[in-house]
Amino acid sequence: MAPTISFLTSTLVGLSLVTSAFSITPGFPYGSEKVRGVNLGGWLVLEPWITPSIFDNTGNSAIVDEWTFGQYQDYNTALSVLQNHWDTWITANDFAAIAAAGLNHVRLPIGYWAFEVGPGEPYIQGQLPYLQKAVQWAGQYGLKVIVDLHGAPGSQNGYDNSGQRMSFPTWHSNQTNIQRTDDIIKTIASMFADQTNVVPIIAPLNEPAGYDGSAVLSAVRQYWYDSWGNIRYPYGTSQTSNTVEMIHDAFQPLSYWAGFETPPDFNGVAMDTHIYQVFSDADNAMSYQDHINAACGTQSSLSGFDLWLIVGEWSPAPTDCATYLNGRGVGSRYAGTYPGSTAVGSCTGLTGSASTFSSSYKAFLRQFWEAQVISYEAVTDGWLQWTWKAENADEWSYQAGLANGWIPQNPTNLMYPNICG
Instruction: State which H helix or E strand residue 105 sits in.
Output: strand 105-111
Instruction: State which H helix or E strand residue 382 sits in.
Output: strand 382-385
- 391 as an active site residue: the answer is no
Residue 160, CA distances (Å) to 155, 213, 330, 372 in order: 9, 20, 12, 26
Which is catalytic among the residues 66, 207, 370, 377?
207
Residue 339 exposed, middle or buried by CB count within 10 Å (0-12, 13-18, 19+): exposed
Give the C-alpha separation, 278 to 292, whole Å.
13
Instruction: Confirm if 144 and 195 have CB atoms less than 8 A apart.
Output: no
Q: Where are the beta strands (DSSP E) in 265-323?
A: 269-275, 308-314
Give the C-alpha separation, 117 to 71, whole Å.
13
Which is catalytic among the residues 47, 66, 261, 313?
313
Give the C-alpha separation, 311 to 377, whole Å.
10
Residues paired with residue 111 on neighbouring β-strands, in sequence order: 151
Instruction: Confirm if 91 and 134 have CB atoms less than 8 A apart.
Output: no
Residues paired with residue 246 on neighbouring β-strands, in sequence order: 270
Residue 83, CA distances (Å) to 32, 58, 164 in order: 40, 15, 20
Instruction: Confirm if 272 and 248 have CB atoms less than 8 A apart.
Output: yes
Give the C-alpha separation, 192 to 145, whole Å.
10
Backbone angles phi, psi at 203, to 5 degrees: -105, 105
User: Quick one: CA torsion of 59, 63, 67, 71, rounded to 10 degrees?
Assistant: -60
**Single-letter amino acid, residue 177:** N
Q: Provide the 3-class DSSP secondary structure of residue 400.
A: helix
- 207 as an active site residue: the answer is yes
Q: Which residues have a catalytic role annotated?
A: 207, 313
